[in-house]
Amino acid sequence: MSDQKVWLITGCSSGFGHEIALAALNQGDIVVATARDPRKLSDLAAKGAVVEQLDVTASDASLAETVKSITSKTNGRIDILVNNAGYVLSGGVEECSRDEVKAVFETNFFGQLNVIRAVLPVMREQRGGVVANLGSIAGWYGMAGAGLYCASKACAAMVSESLGAEVAHLGIKVVCIEPGYFRTNFLAGGHRLRAQNAIEELREAIDAANGALDAYNHNQPGDPVKGAKLIVDALTSRGSCKGFELPPRLLIGTDAYGMAMGSMDSHKANMELWKDLITATDHDA
């Protein structure tokens, strides 16, 4: 196809990474599917994906070598980067240890930055590309029992907006994709880790939140196949998204739309309530 794209996707062993890879392959694009354990990508390889080992927490030098290996197989191009790798740290803000917090940010946030630093030189040289950082509806509000995960996803949104302003003149677009709850294994063991510490006085709020997530597991409203198709269309300006300008933050899912609108309405109401006090702090002159 004349507009064939080259994709680099992290965290392809399951969930949205896996579905996005399939959707891009179905469009006839070249897909470089990556995971810490590439043996988990055999089905994508069988469908034509280029499979590479990639750990988003690796050193800059290691990631630069990985990208060099990838571009040697893609005629030097990476058109679309999807920073998908991530997991949920479940636990109260006080309950999460220093090491647990470091670990979730190393993957969810610093991991995205690591891959961005490795890939952007390729996109700058080719004067074009799309960087898609996976955020979450959790980046719109702080949820009891998942505050550190929410914080990592809010960081993804802010960095995406800043980076987008820095590279727009080079023909590079940046978006934070913010899915709601989709029926993947993301809330299951291995993708959702619980803090080792438990504080009895916090149980009332945190257990209720964790119970809601447990009940939601495998009952989420979103269809990951449909979500992945929309993401691929949006990042390529094809199909359903032809003619649409990619926004800085792209919500995916009916629940995400409703939660984000509710969050904005709540913040707006509070700002209006406090408006007179907020705006009375300027110099008199």
* Catalytically active residues, by annotation: 149
176: β partners: 133, 249
* Nearest residue to 117 via CA among 73, 62, 187: 62
| Structure-token match 């196949």, residue found | 225
Q: How far is CA 219 from CA 14, 67, 178, 212, 238, in A?
A: 17, 37, 19, 11, 30
Strand-pair category, 6-9 with 50-53: unpaired
Report the chain's terminal Cα–Cα distance, integer Å: 63
- Report the C-alpha gap between 210 and 158 in whole angstroms: 27
| DSSP category for residue 100 | H
